[in-house]
Structure formats: C-alpha cells, structure tokens
C-alpha cells in the first residue's frame, strides 16, 4: 500500500510482511484520514482487516478471523460510517463447494458489533464484493448469489442497524 500527497508524491509505502499469499481487495478512509485495508491473510485463508493511522506506516491494530461457520473467509469490500464504525463484506466457506456471504460491523477499535450471514439460493459460490454507507449511516451491500445451475444473480441489500 502506498500513500501519496495531493501532488502524487509518495509519503510512505507499507508491505504487509505477513508471509504467504496476502491480498487486499478493499480500502477505505475514516474522518481522521486513517486507512482501513481488508482482504485475505495467509494460512487458513482468514479475513484480514487493518487500520493505519494517517501519519503512520504500520497499522495500529489488525484483526483476523475465520468465517462464522469455521471455514475460510475472504473480505472484498470495506466502508466507514460517520461514527467511525467499519463494515466489511465478503464470502466464507462452510465446505469446499458452498460459500455464503457476510457483512461484519466493527466499532472504531475493531470490536465486532454484529455479523450478517446470508446463505445463497442454492449450493454455490456466493460473494459480496461491495459496501457503501448511505446518508443515514446504514450499509448497502452488493454482490452475487450463484444458483445450482451455475448462474450468477446480482444481489443487493440495505441493512438497518
């Protein structure tokens, strides 16, 4: 990850250094210009979330966790609401061929407030790719649900706290 100033000049660069395959798919900023990155950590394919302060290279906190059903999990999107709460979205496995979508809300310190888990239409590879926060600080999540025939359907839901 690289932070640039308004002129495009590098302020700092951070490399995860977690070992193994690491991928970050989501990035968001908070009101203090802190940076959240969400993705996949090595090992058991755990969801990874880190907060980087605006003036610091290294994260001041990180969270890693498996899916709510004990399988692997991937984070694809992250957003921050007006109160500094973080919402991440992604997919998690209950077995090798069935993936469910999830949305997880955390407070600014990284403590889980709630988890919203949705099993798709049939056994399939369901994924939430995107999350946005509306003017009422409610998350809107979107992705795909795959049916038994292998076809993907767009799926979107507005969550109320």
Residue range 108-132, pLDDT digits in tens:
888 999 988 877 666 667 888 999 9
User: Is 82 a member of any domain?
Assistant: yes
pLDDT-based confidence at residue 64 (cuts at 50, 70, 90): confident
User: Is 66 a member of any domain?
Assistant: yes
The DSSP code for 29 is: E
User: Is 16 a member of any domain?
Assistant: no
> Which CATH number characterizes residue 88's domain?
2.120.10.30
User: Is 3 a member of any domain?
Assistant: no
User: Is 1 a member of any domain?
Assistant: no
User: Is 14 a member of any domain?
Assistant: no
Residue 31, exposed/middle/buried by CB under 10 A (0-12, 13-18, 19+)? exposed
Dihedral sign of CA atoms 140, 155, 27, 66 in order: positive
User: Is 11 a member of any domain?
Assistant: no
Residue range 142-161, pLDDT digits in tens:
998 877 777 888 888 898 86
Cα–Cα distance list, 55 to 5, 83, 98 (Å): 12, 20, 41
Q: Give the residue numbers spanning the domain of 106.
A: 21-158
Q: What is the largest CA-CA distance in the chain?
A: 50
**pTM value?**
0.86
- Specify the number of domains making up the chain: 1
Measured between alpha carbons, how far is 51 from 69 in angstroms, rounded to an integer?
25
Percentage of the residues of the chain whose pLDDT score is greater than 90: 34
Burial 121-133 (b: 16+ CB within 10 A, else e): eeebbbbbbebeb
């Amino acid at each position: 990850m690289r932070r640039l100033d308004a002129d495009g000049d590098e302020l700092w660069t951070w490399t995860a250094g977690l070992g193994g395959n690491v991928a970050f798919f989501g990035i968001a900023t908070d009101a203090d210009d802190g940076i959240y990155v969400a993705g996949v950590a090595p090992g058991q394919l755990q969801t990874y979330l880190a907060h980087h302060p605006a003036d610091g290279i290294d994260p001041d906190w990180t969270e890693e966790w498996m899916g709510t059903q004990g399988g692997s999990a991937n984070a694809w999107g992250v957003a921050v609401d007006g109160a500094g709460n973080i919402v991440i979205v992604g997919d998690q496995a209950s077995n090798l061929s069935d993936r469910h979508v999830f949305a997880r809300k955390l407070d600014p310190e990284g403590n889980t407030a709630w988890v919203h888990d949705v099993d798709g239409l049939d056994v399939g590879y369901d994924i939430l790719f995107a999350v946005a926060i509306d003017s009422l600080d409610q998350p809107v999540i979107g992705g795909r649900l795959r049916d038994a025939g292998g076809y993907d359907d767009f799926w979107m839901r507005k969550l109320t706290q």
